[in-house]
Chains A and B, each alone.
Chain A
Amino acid sequence: MALLSVQGISVSIGALCPLEGVTFDIDKGEILGLVGESGSGKSLTAMCVMGLLPRIGGSITKGSIVFDGRDLIGLPEIELRRLRGKRIALISQNPMTSLDPIIRIGAQIDQVSTLHLGLSAEAAKARSLELIAQLRIPEPAAIHRAYPHQLSGGMKQRIVIAMALAADPDLIVADEPTTALDVTIQAQIIQIMVELVRDRGLALMLITHDMGVVAQACDRVVVLYAGRVAEMNRIGEIFGKPKHPYTRELIRCIPRLGQEPGSLKGIPGVVPSIVDYPNGCRFNPRCSNAQTLCRDQAPALEPKSSGLAACHFSEI
């Protein structure tokens, strides 16, 4: 049985419906990539899994999120809180703003293990120091005493990762963990994170818009487009035999070595606005192969030769 199974969840925020029938699952020890352009609903999906949707004024209207045999929807907040940080941890998008600026780094990591593992202050500190060292940060003791503003962005993100690991969770949700960082340290952070997750056999839901990162780290991929799942498949199939035209376009857009200058093109058209989604398949205005059927009827997410895809015409 999958560790986390998300089945057809729809989300509403006010009058808007940014997620519709999103379905995917993650096995123990698996790294699942969640890709899509900005506005496709990636971060919202993370919020759903963390049970934090009400904090941004949203609610799940349909579907289920089953984690380790328990449906998180309808679980009382106090139960959710016991899961958060302890069994499902979050690595957030922007390390610059994710740490409390007036509390020492150490205390912020210690907090997780004292809270969830019931460690004493000394034990928690020892554990945090160990984690800081594992994240290849020099001088753990000095960092433990430091304040967030004294650290660089890359260092802060390592601290956020340490916080996520502090209570030995089963699942980590990493929401674009490197977008806010310099390009030069992005790969490094992803590498450290993936290594630690693999070593511990944890499941990781890695949200990104970077297909390069996906290729580097993931076992399986879910492609989101405009609040719906376009395709879900193993990494080899996604890159080898994409079933959805949007996935194909995404892969076409990855820059490659030896490519002719100027030959790199984006996907034509723009991501549709949430207030004005097109009828039928939401990708149809940008799809080179769109037919009348695509404009009239939304394709269901169905099994294909391998994996799942939501396209009327993916006959491979």
Chain B
Amino acid sequence: MISFFIKRLLLLIPVFLAVSLVIFMIVHLVPGDPIDNLVQINSSPEQKAALAAKYGLDKPLYQQYTIWLGNALTGDLGDAIILRRPVADLIAQNLPHSLSLGALALLFSTVVGITAGALAAIYKDSWIDRVTMTLILLGSTVPGFWLGLLLIMLFAVQLGWFPVSGARSWDALVLPVLTIGLGGVALVARVTRVAMIETARKDFVMMLHAKGVPPWRIELRHVLRHALLPVVTILSLRIGWILGGAVTVEFVFARPGLGSLLITSLNQRDYPVVQGALLMLAVAVMLGTLLGDIVQAAMDPRVRERIK
């Protein structure tokens, strides 16, 4: 298991290098002199020169990249142009908010999605199935930010149950988690339902019935367990999707976090912050995928076999 973990971690290195290269190139692909994209407004020529020297802007591009990557890996992501603070500080300040939101949304989507999908599959073609399927359709087609706004209007503005925005208290998490969650629930429920219905048709399930195992035990211990495999696969592939949802939702709810940091700095063309936030989000997506792989291997002996 540990060797598997290390192997997967090593596999992520080329991915990380490729992604970081793209993110590094942002500053160079944007029209204009790179230095102008990195330096604070009203900087003196001396400050500009110092920064250019720091990033080795006179050196060839690949050397600049190694310098930049080296700095980034040691926690130096440069200084924000507008906010005039180290980007690393901004990220450290925003990351916990995104992490708690992302983790809760993931938990919510998984638990509720699996429950809904399993109920829909077990009671296939009943009203439970139809209601779930309708919610799945809505959840996967309604834009996340609109749903967030509707929830704000209903529960925050009209009913006043939860705060409209911000992250000052725990109950401020409820609406954002619900907003990201509905999309996640739709995805998980859909996969769970299809996988359970397909598994239920398999020979070994018939064999379990022939062994006299009670149906509810077959559904929960065997069929559902099998259905969780594709759910984990989808979640590990789409974990970034939930993080993407976090980006949108943070902006809607004016919550601090990597997402709102990214959108704000994109609008202000604060490139060091854009680079830092994108890099963190990319790392989060990669680690999420890794987590999914590990959970998958823990659940399926055939996957463990393949790794060996």
A and B, one complex?
A: yes
A147 located at the interface, meaning its Cβ lies under 8 Å from any Cβ of chain B in the complex: yes
A253 located at the interface, meaning its Cβ lies under 8 Å from any Cβ of chain B in the complex: no
Measured between beta carbons, the chain A residues less than 8 angstroms from B211 are 84-85, 89-90, 111-112, 115, 163
Known: A92-B203, A94-B203. A101 touches B302 (CB 8 A): yes
Number of A-B contacts (CB under 8 A): 69
A52 located at the interface, meaning its Cβ lies under 8 Å from any Cβ of chain B in the complex: yes
**What CA separation (Å) do A55 and B208 show in the bound complex?**
12
Counting chain B CB atoms within 10 Å of each CB, the highest count among A90, A100, A163 belongs to A100
**What CA separation (Å) do A100 and B213 show in the bound complex?**
13
Main secondary structure of the interface of B (DSSP, over half): helix
A116 located at the interface, meaning its Cβ lies under 8 Å from any Cβ of chain B in the complex: yes
Contact status A98-B207, CB under 8 Å: yes
Known: A101-B302, A102-B299, A147-B302. A52 touches B206 (CB 8 A): yes
Contact status B302-A149, CB under 8 Å: yes
A190 located at the interface, meaning its Cβ lies under 8 Å from any Cβ of chain B in the complex: no
Known: A101-B302, A102-B225, A149-B302. A116 touches B212 (CB 8 A): yes
Measured between beta carbons, the chain B residues less than 8 angstroms from A121 are none
Residues 108-126 of A contacting B (Cβ, < 8 Å): 111-112, 115-116
Contact status B222-A100, CB under 8 Å: yes
The size bracket of the interface on B is 20 to 34
Known: A102-B301, A149-B302. A115 touches B212 (CB 8 A): yes
For residue B205, give the distance in angstroms from its CB to the closest CB of chain A: 8
**What CA separation (Å) do A126 and B203 show in the bound complex?**
27
Contact status B301-A147, CB under 8 Å: yes
Name the CB-closest residue of A to B300.
Answer: A102
Measured between beta carbons, the chain B residues less than 8 angstroms from A90 are 207, 210-211
Contact status A84-B209, CB under 8 Å: yes
The residue from A85, A97, A99, A101 contacting B210, defined by CB atoms under 8 A apart? A85
**What CA separation (Å) do A94 and B206 show in the bound complex?**
12
Contact status B222-A103, CB under 8 Å: yes
Residues 36-71 of A contacting B (Cβ, < 8 Å): 50, 52, 55
Could you write out 11 A-B pairs with CB less than 8 Å apart? A81-B212, A82-B212, A84-B209, A84-B211, A85-B211, A89-B210, A89-B211, A98-B204, A99-B207, A111-B211, A149-B305
Q: Which residues of B contact A (CB under 8 A)?
A: 202-204, 206-214, 222, 225-226, 229, 299-302, 305
Since A81-B212, A99-B204, A102-B229 are in contact, a sample of 17 more A-B pairs with Cβ atoms closer than 8 Å, ordered by chain A residue number, is A52-B206, A84-B210, A90-B207, A92-B207, A92-B210, A97-B203, A98-B204, A98-B207, A100-B222, A101-B204, A101-B301, A102-B225, A102-B301, A112-B212, A147-B301, A147-B302, A160-B207
